[in-house]
Structure 1
Amino acid sequence: MSLEQLKAFLAKVKGDSSLQEKLKAAKSPDEVVSIAKGHGHEFSSDKISLLSEEELEGVSGGWKATKADRNDIFCG
């Protein structure tokens, strides 16, 4: 459940529009964790809040999260 796993998953998401759509539809950070696990990446939902803005940038079709969005990065 490492930050490195989360970063690896985000790198995969950047190049996969289908995966981006799945994450946009996620209702909670725990659902994001479940999606990631299904793609071979394991981390806990609390790791999402540890990412910098630069790391979050472009993850979801160019959507850029602000610090206020970190807890809801993949929700709505």
Structure 2
Amino acid sequence: MALDQLKGFLLRLQDDEALKQSVLAASTADDVAKIAGGLGYSFSGDELLRFSGNRVGRVTVSKQETPGEYN
């Protein structure tokens, strides 16, 4: 289940500083999902965005608004 995969990734993220820096440098939710995929976690960028506002352990998912983004 993707939600379990996402939660597992977020728990790993809270204790891995290098992973945290990679995620913070990612441009999109899809980029974060690709980073997670490389570590064996399976969820989409869309699933990550829908999880925005939720907290797992010490990690809170929040959507970042990018300047110049068109709606």
TM tier relative to shorter chain: 0.7 to 0.9
* Aligned-pair identity (%): 33
Q: Which has the higher strand share?
A: 2
Which is bigger in relative contact order (C-alpha 8 A, separation at least 6)? 1
Q: Which has the higher helix share?
A: 1
Per the normalisation by structure 1, the TM-score is: 0.69
Where does the alignment leave 5 or more consecutive residues of structure 1 unmatched? none
Aligned CA-pair RMSD: 2.7
| Corresponding residue for residue 17 of structure 1 | 17
Per the normalisation by structure 2, the TM-score is: 0.73
How many positions carry a matched residue from both structures?
66
Where does the alignment leave 5 or more consecutive residues of structure 2 unmatched? 67-71
Task: Map 1:1-76 onto structure 2 (within 5 A).
Answer: 2-51=2-51, 53-55=53-55, 58-59=58-59, 69-70=62-63, 72=64
